[in-house]
């Protein structure tokens, strides 16, 4: 069978159309054979106007080399206008660091930023040297699998979600054409049932808690507060006689900075709330105790200023310094051990979980009401806090039948 002529028109007898075979890409010179070197040369015009001359032992090899040069130049051109020091070889590690310092730092609280930093260090240890534009699905899948194998499916899930955010920014910046991390399936996180305390057991826990922390523990286990909201509370926001409080801020720990005042985790948390009698009583006792500390410290009592406002924080140590979340955690575990519970199952956030579960199990409140009480922005978050339905199905059935059964009407 005769060879089709290169660069010539070849007609298709069936369709009446034609193609041109062996034609060089538009704007490029045709390949030629260099007899002096016994190689084929496939010239192409570089972006700077100069001529490149890839070679090959055969014409097809020379053309393939030319095509690779053209494709590489086109890919490089995508990154030519990038700012902030980005380039076609920018790595996952470099982008993650930039994202932390320039995006995440201004969107999340200090403690959340610290968590992101730790998670992205883990990413960097496995994928940090991979160029952003060359990240592949199988690389991310393998990384996620390694984190799961290390014993934490929940951490693997969180790290994957964080990496999705970083790669979304890569797409926005033009460093990647698509977010391949979104194509990686998240690991299945087994649901762990956690211990919750009934109101009677909460009373026992408070009675056994170190008096310095009892009021803070009550805010967590009776009011359902986050411990950050308790530690950010100032006396100016409290009306103990009226049993009310105006939640305005939180106090969280940031690496190399210590406890830092900032906004509440969600906007729904902030605002006026009612306080239970137990909480009011414990806060009153704490106020008397702190007044004695302040008098003993004299002028050494530190001054706290937040957003140009002088604050008298409710929870301090005897010399006026801030109380760490770990101090409250330790007090809870010690008290739990004293009343016969496994201390490893207790912490500040277990109080919030207990409040949500107790309110829902009562059958009096729907999840939307419970979410509103504890300040969750999303009802699905509240649902995740419910550890048991208790007698709620029976209570709901009884109420339903009272309304629906004609005989009972």
Mind listing the pLDDT tens digit for each residue in 198-253? 999 999 999 999 999 999 999 999 999 999 999 999 999 999 999 999 999 999 87
Largest Cα–Cα separation, the chain: 107
Rounded Cα distance, 313 and 293, in Å: 13
Mind listing the pLDDT tens digit for each residue in 143-158? 999 999 998 888 999 9
The domain locations on the chain are 8-78, 92-183, 199-346
* Assigned architecture for domain 199-346: Orthogonal Bundle (1.10)
pLDDT reported for residue 2: 38
For every residue of 318-335, DSSP letters joined together read TTSPBPPHHHHHHHHHHH
Mind listing the pLDDT tens digit for each residue in 113-166? 888 999 999 999 999 999 999 999 999 999 999 999 998 888 999 999 999 999
For every residue of 147-200, DSSP letters joined together read HHHTT-HHHHHHHHHHHHHHHHHHHHHTS-SS-GGGGSPPPP----------HH
- pTM recorded for the entire structure: 0.69
Distances in Å between the alpha carbon of 279 and those of 202, 306, 311? 12, 25, 21
- Name the CATH code of domain 92-183 (choices 1.10.150.130, 3.30.460.10, 1.10.10.10, 3.40.50.300): 1.10.150.130
Residues in contact with 176: Cβ distance below 8 Å, sequence separation at least 6, in sequence order: 132, 133, 135, 167, 170
Same fold, 92-183 and 199-346: no
């Amino acid at each position: 069978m005769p060879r089709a002529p290169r660069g010539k028109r070849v007609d298709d007898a069936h369709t009446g159309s034609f193609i041109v075979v062996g034609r060089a890409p538009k704007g490029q010179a045709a390949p030629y054979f260099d007899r002096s070197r016994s190689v084929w040369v496939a010239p192409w015009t570089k972006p700077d106007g100069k001529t490149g001359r890839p070679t090959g032992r055969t014409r097809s090899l020379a053309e393939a080399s030319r095509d690779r040069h053209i494709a590489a130049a086109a890919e490089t051109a995508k990154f030519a206008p990038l700012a902030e020091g980005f380039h076609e070889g920018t790595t996952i590690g470099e982008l993650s660091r930039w994202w932390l310092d320039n995006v995440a730092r201004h969107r999340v609280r200090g403690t959340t930023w610290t968590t992101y930093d730790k998670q992205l260090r883990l990413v960097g240890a496995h994928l940090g040297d991979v160029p952003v534009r060359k990240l592949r699905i199988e690389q991310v899948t393998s990384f996620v699998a390694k984190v799961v194998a290390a014993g934490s499916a929940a951490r693997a899930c969180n790290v994957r979600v964080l990496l999705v955010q970083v790669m979304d920014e890569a797409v926005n910046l033009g460093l990647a054409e698509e977010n391949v991390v979104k194509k990686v399936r998240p690991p299945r996180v087994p649901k762990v049932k956690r211990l919750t305390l009934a109101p009677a057991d909460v009373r026992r826990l408070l009675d056994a808690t170190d008096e310095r922390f009892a009021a803070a523990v009550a805010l967590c286990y009776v009011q359902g507060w986050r411990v950050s909201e308790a530690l950010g509370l100032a006396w100016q926001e409290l009306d103990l006689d009226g049993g009310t409080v105006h939640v305005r801020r939180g106090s969280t720990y940031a690496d190399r900075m210590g406890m830092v005042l900032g906004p509440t985790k969600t906007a729904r948390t902030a605002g006026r709330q009612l306080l239970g009698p137990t909480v009011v009583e414990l806060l009153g006792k704490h106020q008397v105790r702190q007044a004695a500390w302040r008098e003993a410290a004299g002028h050494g009592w530190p001054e706290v200023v937040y957003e140009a406002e002088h604050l008298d924080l409710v929870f301090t140590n005897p010399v006026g310094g801030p109380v760490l979340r770990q101090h409250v955690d330790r007090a809870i575990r010690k008290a739990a051990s004293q009343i016969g519970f496994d201390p490893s199952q207790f912490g500040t956030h277990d109080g919030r979980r207990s409040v949500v579960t107790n309110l829902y199990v009562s059958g009096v409140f729907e999840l939307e009401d419970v979410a509103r009480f504890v300040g969750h922005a999303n009802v699905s978050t509240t649902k995740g806090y419910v550890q048991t339905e208790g007698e709620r199905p029976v209570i709901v059935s009884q109420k339903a039948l009272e309304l629906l059964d004609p005989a009972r009407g």
